[in-house]
Amino acid sequence: MAYLFTSESVSEGHPDKVADQISDALIDHFLAFDKDSKVACETLVTTGQVVLAGEVKSNTYLDVQKIARDTINKIGYTKSDYMFDGNSCGVFSAIHEQSEDINRGVDRESKEQQGAGDQGMMFGYATRETENYMPLALDLAHRILIELAELRRENKEITYLRPDSKSQVTIEYSDDNIPQRIDAIVVSTQHDDFDKDDAMLAKIRKDIVDILIPRVVAKLPENIQNLFTDDITYHINPTGKFVIGGPHGDTGLTGRKIIVDTYGGKGAHGGGAFSGKDPSKVDRSAAYATRHIAKNLVAAGVCDEVLVQVSYAIGVVEPMGIFVDTYGTCPFNMTDGEIAQKVSDIFDMRPASIEERLKLRNPMYSETAAYGHMGRPSETVSKTFSQPNGDDLTVDVELFTWEKLDYVDKVKAAFGL
């Protein structure tokens, strides 16, 4: 019997994502001026207020208030009508030095013997369902909000949009797990106030269905375009009004959208958040490493779908173990346990090796903090960072290195493909 599967996404203006972006902007600035920085930074945002808290060990000094304000303004919270804007909000910092009890388990005389920054298990997932090896429902939910943000910034075809928004996509699958059609799409977008609520809701619905969705569909491959039929059920701003939003409408916290950040409910999630953590925290670095493994396994033809788990103990160099589940999609006679053993041979999962392999000590994290950490194109960009003394630093940074298919040949060789 056919079944339905749903994933959601939230925009860069969603309060939890505002918090994530501030935390990751701080990470990037610390790493830009001191690659060995150890940072765990949490952010809370609410009406007119930002609270920064966490632990830092670094040789650089930053104006954390300015970084927070610049991030908020970049997102689009620049008007007092929003009851939260980068120029006027209060920014309180309670960041202090990292605990020596934690640091002693991570730093070693030899970089290669760096211990894991925490215990826990991390998961990576990949599927042939899309060109970027991501679950389709989540990929579409992200694309809807990315395009909505483009329309907001263009301010031409739709002129009333505010930064906060959410999307959700429900897909019907066949018994053999093949997408058949899109069953429902939910879009809730913050907007300027209208004189008449009924006219407002009708216009927003028409603009989403007739302007936003066609722009999204036009950028998709043909096989995915065919899933968009006239039978889709649309729920546009279901409450009828969404003027009060962002941190004024709902308090935001770092790390509260971890399923949006990963696979939309497909596969699994270890439980640890990513944003605000430097790569010594395996919650982040090992989650990226397992995605890298999963994507290269599927691309190499080892399987059509795979979940990879790795686990660590704080301060211990080697992982506790690697688990692989191919969901029965491996086309040759090899057990998941045998595949996991080969994965252990191909990929060095010591924390320092992960950092080096994926270049994680570079200021690459701000871009991850909205629209998902996985499935994004790996590209090199130029970024400029400033210190309070006026010194600027411009660096070329490779983004989303864990999305590269640079191990496909090694995987094929190891599996005889």
Tokens for 252? 């935001």
Domain count, the chain: 3
394 and 293 share one domain: yes
Range 346-371 average pLDDT: 97
**pLDDT confidence of residue 344:** 96
pLDDT over 70 at 112, yes or no: no
Query: CA geometry: angle at 282 spanning 273 and 66, to 5°?
Result: 55
**pLDDT confidence of residue 169:** 98
In this structure, is residue 209 part of a structural domain?
yes
**pLDDT confidence of residue 152:** 97
Annotated binding site for L-methionine: 55, 98, 250, 281
Range 168-197 average pLDDT: 93
149 and 289 share one domain: no
Range 261-275 average pLDDT: 94
400 and 373 share one domain: yes
Q: What is the mean pLDDT of the chain?
A: 94
Range 20-41 average pLDDT: 96
**pLDDT confidence of residue 278:** 95
**pLDDT confidence of residue 106:** 59
240-259 residue pLDDT tens: 889 899 999 999 999 999 99
**pLDDT confidence of residue 104:** 52
Nearest-10 Cα torsion for 289, 28, 400, 326: 30
- Answer yes or no: pTM beyond 0.85: yes
pLDDT confidence tier of residue 118, bands split at 50, 70 and 90: confident
122-167 residue pLDDT tens: 999 999 999 999 999 999 999 999 999 999 999 999 999 999 999 9
311 and 400 share one domain: yes
Annotated binding site for K(+): 42
275-318 residue pLDDT tens: 999 999 999 999 999 999 999 999 999 999 999 999 999 888 88
In this structure, is residue 252 part of a structural domain?
no
In this structure, is residue 133 part of a structural domain?
no
**pLDDT confidence of residue 99:** 58
**Least confident among 9-13, 119-123, 168-172, 377-381:** 119-123
In this structure, is residue 349 part of a structural domain?
yes
In this structure, is residue 363 part of a structural domain?
yes
**Distance between CA atoms of residues 76 and 64, nearest Å:** 19
**pLDDT confidence of residue 173:** 96
**Distance between CA atoms of residues 76 and 152, nearest Å:** 9
pLDDT over 60 at 107, yes or no: no
In this structure, is residue 132 part of a structural domain?
no
36 and 73 share one domain: yes
Range 3-30 average pLDDT: 98
307 and 236 share one domain: no
**pLDDT confidence of residue 200:** 85
101 and 154 share one domain: no
CATH number, residue 224? 3.30.300.10
In this structure, is residue 250 part of a structural domain?
no
297 and 411 share one domain: yes
Q: Percent of the chain scored above 90 by pLDDT?
A: 86
407 and 379 share one domain: yes
286 and 349 share one domain: yes
Higher pLDDT, 195 or 71: 71
Annotated binding site for Mg(2+): 16
407 and 263 share one domain: yes
Strand 49-57 vs strand 90-97: parallel, antiparallel, or unpaired? parallel
pLDDT confidence tier of residue 103, bands split at 50, 70 and 90: low
| Domain of 30, in residue numbers | 16-113
**pLDDT confidence of residue 100:** 60
Annotated binding site: 14, 16, 42, 55, 98, 164-166, 241-242, 250, 256-257, 273, 277, 281
Check if the beta carbon of residue 377 is closer than 8 Å to that of residue 403. Answer: yes
pLDDT confidence tier of residue 18, bands split at 50, 70 and 90: very high
Range 259-286 average pLDDT: 95
In this structure, is residue 251 part of a structural domain?
no
239 and 264 share one domain: no
Residues 6+ positions from 13 with CB-CB distance below 8 Å: 75, 76, 77, 149, 162, 163, 164, 165, 190, 245, 246
318-347 residue pLDDT tens: 899 999 999 999 999 999 999 999 999 999
**pLDDT confidence of residue 119:** 85
Annotated binding site for ATP: 14, 164-166, 241-242, 250, 256-257, 273, 277
Range 182-187 average pLDDT: 98
